[in-house]
Amino acid sequence: MLPIPTKFKLVAGSSEGSTLLNAFDGALLDAGAGNLNLLRVSSVLPPKAVYEENLFIPPGNLVPTAYGAIDSDAPGTVISAAVGVGIPNDCSFGMIMEVSGEFDKTTAEEQVRIMLAEAFKMRNKTLAEIKVKVVEHKVDKIGCVFAGVLLWY
């Protein structure tokens, strides 16, 4: 059985690169997650997980992460990614939602907030707080945006 993460951090970044993969790598670096091995997870915030804005995770670690990302090689395209964490009013689990696409950061944030409200409603839970991180990028040649929730111990 894997341990349950006890901490979390929201990150977001953008980058240009010579290839789509290099742009993604640059966006991870810009977000502060470029030297971690991200394990993509679905959207449940562990019970009692504590937000740590300055959370340090040593390079090379396997890090459970819920994230949204999009890349583009269409110059002039505006791309955005956002993540949101919904924190309940009790000590139970919360929810994480992520979105990415060809729209501005305001649209991305609105979508994440709507999805969090619906996720809590579907579970008959009371939403006490929302934390959001969003990034927007206008593609020069090849660009990428990334927004994620890093879960840690």
Q: What is the CATH number of the domain that holds 115?
A: 3.50.20.10
Q: How far is CA 139 from CA 17, 23, 60, 81, 104, in A?
A: 10, 10, 29, 14, 12
Q: What is the pLDDT of residue 129?
A: 97
Report the number of distinct structural domains present in the chain: 1
pLDDT at 2: 85
Selecting among 14, 15, 72, 98, the annotated active-site residue is 98
Catalytic position from the list 15, 43, 80, 100: 43
For this structure, is 42 an active site residue? yes
**Tokens 């939403």 belong to residue:** 127
Q: How far is CA 56 from CA 3, 7, 17, 53, 68, in A?
A: 18, 11, 26, 9, 21
2 in any annotated domain: no
Q: Which of 18, 35, 37, 92 does the annotation list as catalytic?
A: 37
Does some domain include residue 94? Answer: yes
pLDDT in the model for residue 1:
83
Residue 102 lies in a domain: yes
Give pLDDT tens digits for 116-131.
999 999 999 999 999 9
In the β-sheet with 50-51, what is the strand arrangement from edge to edge? Answer: 37-40, 62-72, 143-152, 7-16, 50-51
For residue 11, being part of any structural domain is answered with: yes
CB atoms < 10 A from the CB of 52, how many?
13
98 flagged as catalytic: yes
Beta-bridge partners for 68? 147
pTM of the model: 0.97
Q: Is 52 marked active-site? A: no
In a domain, 56, yes or no: yes
Domain that holds residue 84: 7-152
Catalytic residue status for 89? no
